[in-house]
Amino acid sequence: MTPRALEAADEDRVQRFLGRIPEGDRTFFKENLDETTVAAWLSEGRAHRAIVTDDGGETRAYAAVIPGVGWSSHVGELRLVVDPGSRRAGLGRMMARWGLVEAVQMGLSKLLVELIADQEAAIAMFHDLGFEGEALLRDQVRDRGGKLRDLILLAHDVGENAASLAATGLDRI
Ligand SMILES: CC(C)(COP(=O)(O)OP(=O)(O)OC[C@H]1O[C@@H](n2cnc3c(N)ncnc32)[C@H](O)[C@@H]1OP(=O)(O)O)[C@@H](O)C(=O)NCCC(=O)NCCS
């Protein structure tokens, strides 16, 4: 399985995939997810979005690199989610690597990822890929139960590290 660009023909399969994301995980997903989410992604042209599908054509993982605007136009945000039934099989790491390569190709110099502070496993995964802690925003996220959670920002200096990404093979998914 390899990531490929999200296309208009994928709308239904990706919408089904989002429907499989459990309530508990929706806290870790910054956007509101509803039946219009994928159509909105498809009509928005700035972000680069990719999915991984299985042999049956079902979506197993999704990632996006969303470039900033104005004074942050050199910074991208990476968002990714893996189907709960397909986790711990390397898809998260693969999509994060895709995001790093994509950020370099988009000419970005910095890639950010936002995580709830207690997502220790995911934070470890991003650290392994060269992301470093940049900020902690207290009580930044209100989860669906109304509880306030701290948000961690991790960053990767993709511009500076483009050569070292290639040297470590991270430029190859
Ligand atoms: C975080 C997430 C993307 C990880 O996806 P994944 O496909 O399970 O990740 P991988 O299989 O590539 O795991 C990579 C490494 O991360 C760590 N890891 C990931 N999930 C873990 C868990 N539940 N427990 C322990 N370690 C974990 C491990 O070190 C793992 O390597 P290993 O399997 O060789 O030990 C997935 O859990 C997810 O979609 N979460 C909800 C959305 C989210 O939090 N997105 C990130 C912020 S945008």
Q: Is the CB of 113 under 6 A from ligand 1?
A: yes
What amino acid is encoded at 149 in this protein? Answer: R
Lowest-confidence region among 28-37, 39-48, 81-90: 28-37
Contact 80, 99 (CB under 8 A): yes
Residue with CA at minimum distance from ligand 1 atom 18: 121
Q: Which residue has its alpha carbon closest to ligand 1 atom 44?
A: 28
* SS3 label, residue 57: coil
Span 56-93, pLDDT tens digits: 999 999 999 999 999 999 999 999 999 999 999 999 99
Length of the chain (residues): 173
Q: Measured from the CA of 94, which atom of ligand 1 is nearest?
A: 12
Ligand 1 atom 20, closest CA: 121
Q: Give residue 145's pLDDT band: very low, low, confident or very high (50, 70, 90).
A: confident
Largest CA distance in the chain: 45
Q: If you average pLDDT over every residue of the chain, what do you get?
A: 91
| Range 117-143 average pLDDT | 95
102-116 tens-digit pLDDT: 999 999 999 999 999
DSSP letter assigned to residue 58 = -
pLDDT of 159 reads 78
